[in-house]
Amino acid sequence: MPEPLPILRIGHPVLLQRALPAGDAGDLGLQELLEAMLATMHDASGLGLAAPQVGRSVRAIVLLPLIARDQPTEEVAPLVLLDPELELDGLPPVLGVEGCLSIPELRGLVPRARTLRWRARDRAGRPIAGAAEGLTARILQHEVDHLDGILFPMRMTDLALLATADQAAHLLALLPPPERGPAPPGMPE
C-alpha cells in the first residue's frame, strides 16, 4: 500500500475549487492517486476522502461501504467513484453529525437528503450506479461537495450546531432518536 498523503486543512484554496473531471481511467497517474487516497483514508480512519483533500483537484472520491445498520466496516472493499453525480430525493433534509479530515476536531449538525441515487465511473472507467440512504447517503453528499469546493460548515444553516469532537455528544442529544443511529456518528470523513 502506498504511503498516505498529507491532508489539506480548511483554509487551503484547493478545498474551495470546483474540481475537474477525473479523465482517462487508464491514466497511471490517476490510478496511483486512487491508491494513495485509499491509503490516506485508511491511515486517517476516515469514512471517505475526496481528491481535493490531498491537493488534487479532480472529481474522484473513495469511501468505505457501510453495511448492516449503517455500521462502517473495513471488511468490504472500499468504493472508488470517478465523476460521481447525485440525484437527491427532493424531500426535506435531515440533520446528522458530520466531521471532516480537513477540519480536524470539529463536528457539526448538517442538513442532508436522507436518500439519493448516484451514478459514476468505477476505477476502470465503467459506468456504475446505485442508491444510498442514511449515513452512506450523507457521506456521498459530503464527498461530492468536496468536488464542488464545499465544506460541511458551508452547508450548515445554524452555526450554533458546531462543536469540538469532545462536545459532540451535545449535538447528538439534539437529534430525534431515529437519526442518532446505533454508533456514534461524527467520525471523520
Among 58, 64, 100, 140, binds Ni ion (CB under 5 A): 100
Indicate whether 189 belongs to the interface with Ni ion (CB under 5 A). Answer: yes
Determine, following the binding rule CB under 5 A, whether residue 98 of this chain makes contact with Ni ion: no
Piece of 2-10, 25-33, 87-95, 97-105 that binds Ni ion (CB under 5 A): 97-105
Reply yes or no on whether 143 is catalytic. Answer: yes
**How near is the Cβ of 92 to Ni ion at its closest, in Å?**
23
CA distance 171 to 7: 26
Q: By the 8 A CB rule, do 34 and 60 touch?
A: yes
CB nearer to Ni ion: pick between 25 and 79: 79
By three-state DSSP, how is residue 82 classified?
A: strand
Q: Is 140 in the site for Ni ion (CB under 5 A)?
A: no
Q: Which is nearer to Ni ion, 25 or 66 (CB)?
A: 66
Catalytic residue (one of 32, 35, 143, 189): 143
Q: How far is the CB of 77 from Ni ion (least distance, A)?
A: 21
Q: Quote the cell numbers at residue 1.
A: 500500500
Q: Which amino acid is at 99?
A: G
145 is an interface residue for Ni ion by CB under 5 A: no
- Closest to Ni ion by CB, 83 or 189: 189
188's grid cell: 471523520
Distances from the Cα of 101 to the Cαs of 21, 65, 166, in angstroms? 23, 18, 16
Residue nearest to Ni ion (CB): 100
The answer to the question of residue 54 lying near Ni ion (CB under 5 A) is no
Distance between CA atoms of residues 160 and 107, nearest Å: 11
Helix (H, G, I), strand (E, B) or coil at 136: helix
Of the pair 100, 113, the CB lying nearest Ni ion is at: 100
Measured distance CA(146)–CA(10) in Å, rounded: 11
Candidates 100, 121, 102; CA nearest to 31 is 121
Catalytic center residues: 143
Interface contacts to Ni ion, rule CB under 5 A: 100, 189
